[in-house]
Amino acid sequence: MKYIYIKTWGCQMNEYDSSMIITILQKKNKYSITQSAENADVLILNTCSIREKAQEKVFHQLGRWKKLKNKNTNIIIAVGGCVATQEGKEIFKRAHYVDIVFGTQTLHKLPEMINEVEKRKQFIIDISFPKLDKFKHYLKPKKKSCTASVSIMEGCNNYCSFCVVPYTRGNEVSRSCDELIFEISSLADQGVREINLLGQNVNSYQGLTFDGQICCFSELLRLVAEIDGIDRIRFITSNPLEFTDDIIQVYKDVPKLVSFLHLPVQSGSNKILQLMKRSYTVEQYELIIKKLIKARSNIQISSDFIVGFPGESDQDFQKTMDFINKINFDMSFSFIYSKRPGTPASKMTDNVSEKEKKQRLYILQKRINIQTMSWSRRMLGSIQTVLVEGISNKKNTELYGRTENNRIVNFKGSPEMIGNLIKLKIDQVHTHSLKGKII
């Protein structure tokens, strides 16, 4: 039995890819997962390249693993994910002790790659883009949790000027509708109650059906809602450019689609959006939100923001702050702009100092945190439907669950409630969680 240790950085897509790696290796009946790098025969680093200095982070980690390989030369080190696709052979040039470099679309080849290294003791690299081949090796997943993520597509065609994803994951390719329904149905049979549909831009999904027709994203949402056992549907991430009326209509028609949406806007300035090549305006974004509220009055919105983008003036930043107040965003993922290799924005003149970027980020996050707490306080005394996910991290005598709007609620309950939807009355509001009582 070979022991595998996987370290994962990045988004939910990376987490999903790592779960695929585990499933594919375990099916070979010769691999077992360990939680300790020191006990592993194979070390796998699944990387993310969205943020600045991602490459250096990778090499720092590899440097730590080099010490393990110095003690045991039979250890195999594999690097995958977006940095692997982006850097390719450069990884081996800087770290000769790395044995395998695999891409976001070639992770299914890992078992044969490992076998090849064991036989020939030579470096192997495959960062090609075989479309969706990896999903052919990932049927009937086993799931112990009541929540699960399912990747519905790979890649992106938008080529925003700051984003490296189209270069590391390729152009958009959608999985077939029938394959997705089969996978989600299998998860539902295992007790999964909440599904999270993943993709770089889920609302551009165009999957083939068994009869050769095209299933769009709104149709897929409706089909997933028909699956027995699936009580909640989420998705991430979508682009305002393609957030069409048929998707908004699903919010009106399908209660299983949660009243919480993550819709990245990135900036409240049309000038900056144009420089980012986002292809929509703040006015168009606001119109989408108005339509969503009309379809689902209690919907809450989270978003992404980049501060300090090349060309962002004080006035542009203020427009972003004004927009945050106007929409009343609930939560956000917000970052300082960082250059990504090979992107158009990396060639732009970065006119914002690091000090100013940090100050703007602080101001923005402080405002969002105030709004998040305001939204949470509105829930005090309310009755919430909560999906019970497990034992609380704070007290092992309590359970925890999640509301539709992504709040963690801790409460006293019995273990048989895990995996079920229950009603709780919210009686305490904390910064990062809520407390409730069963009614």
**CB 336, CB 359: distance < 8 Å:** no
Reference 22, options 42, 2, 38, 6; nearest CA is 6
The 3-state DSSP class for residue 396 equals coil
Among residues 343, 339, 288, 332, the alpha carbon closest in space to that of 160 is found at 343
What 8-state DSSP symbol labels residue 317?
A: H
| CA separation for the pair 416, 189 (Å, rounded) | 18
Residues annotated in a binding site for [4Fe-4S] cluster: 11, 48, 82, 156, 160, 163
* Contact predicate 40/178, CB 8 Å: no
d(CA 195, CA 388): 14
* CA pair distance 106, 103, nearest whole angstrom: 5
Say whether 28 sits in a helix, a strand or coil: coil
CA nearest to 33, candidates 1, 68, 75, 5? 5
Q: Maximum Cα–Cα distance for the chain, whole Å?
A: 65
Instruction: Assign 3-state DSSP to the chain and report helix, strand, coil percentages, each to 5.
Output: 40, 25, 35
Tokens describing residue 97 = 């002790």
CA distances from 278 to 14, 30, 240, 371 (A): 24, 47, 9, 25
Q: Name the DSSP class of 213.
A: P
Residue 122 one-letter amino acid: Q
Cross-strand pairs, 359: none
242 touches 274 (CB < 8 A): no
Residue 117, helix vs strand vs coil: helix
Closest to 77 in 3D by CA, of 109, 40, 48: 40
Query: What is d(CA 429, CA 260) in angstroms, rounded to the nearest whole number?
Result: 19
Sign of CA dihedral 435, 437, 438, 439: negative
Instruction: Enumerate the known binding-site residues.
Output: 11, 48, 82, 156, 160, 163
User: In a 10 Å sphere around its CB, with 0-12 CB exposed, 13-18 middle and 19+ buried, how is residue 193 labelled?
Assistant: buried
